[in-house]
């Protein structure tokens, strides 16, 4: 199985539409407010990241299960398998993204939140956008 030969189920297509919106919302927030010093704005951007990441791994899971990989147990296994199959680039950063998401959900320390906020802007948003582009290309390939 290659990335280009993968097809998306109806469920995955719906999830992808939601994922695209989530990444677009995150990108808009970062473009408009990425240089803010206001913690409440940073927390909103972090929450948009959490939503986009959640949809990303669930989309990965939908795609992989549709392709016959039924052993997906969570975000880590979905991420590892997707990286091994070429759906994701920079698997180590995607795994770090999982850790960051786990940290941000339960972190209230401003220094920790600032550190994770910076990673979201510099490392994670580009990868989330890249994944969206890759899936969009896959959808277009399968429609033609």
Split at pLDDT 50, 70, 90, the class of 85 is very high
From residue 58, how far is each of 64, 75, 109, 144 by CA, in Å?
10, 8, 28, 25
Query: How far is 32 from 30, CA to CA, in rounded Å?
Result: 6
Domain total of the chain: 1
Domain that holds residue 61: 3-143
Q: Would you state the pLDDT for residue 118?
A: 97
pTM over 0.85: yes
Dump pLDDT digits (tens) for 50-60: 999 999 999 99
Query: How far is 132 from 115, CA to CA, in rounded Å?
Result: 25
Query: How far is 144 from 127, CA to CA, in rounded Å?
Result: 26
Q: Would you state the pLDDT for residue 144?
A: 66
CATH number at residue 83: 1.20.120.330
Dump pLDDT digits (tens) for 7-28: 788 999 999 999 999 999 999 9
């Amino acid at each position: 199985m290659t990335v280009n030969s993968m097809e998306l189920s109806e469920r995955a297509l719906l999830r992808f539409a939601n994922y695209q919106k989530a990444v677009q919302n995150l990108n808009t927030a970062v473009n408009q407010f990425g240089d803010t010093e206001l913690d409440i704005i940073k927390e909103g951007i972090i929450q948009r990241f959490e939503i986009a990441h959640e949809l990303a791994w669930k989309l990965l899971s939908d795609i992989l299960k549709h392709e016959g990989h039924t052993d997906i147990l969570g975000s880590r296994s979905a991420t590892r398998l997707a990286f091994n199959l070429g759906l994701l680039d920079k698997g180590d950063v995607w795994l770090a993204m999982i850790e960051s998401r786990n940290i941000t959900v339960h972190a209230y320390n401003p220094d920790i939140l600032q550190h994770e906020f910076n990673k979201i802007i510099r490392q994670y948003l580009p990868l989330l956008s890249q994944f969206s582009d890759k899936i969009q290309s896959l959808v277009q390939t399968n429609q033609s």
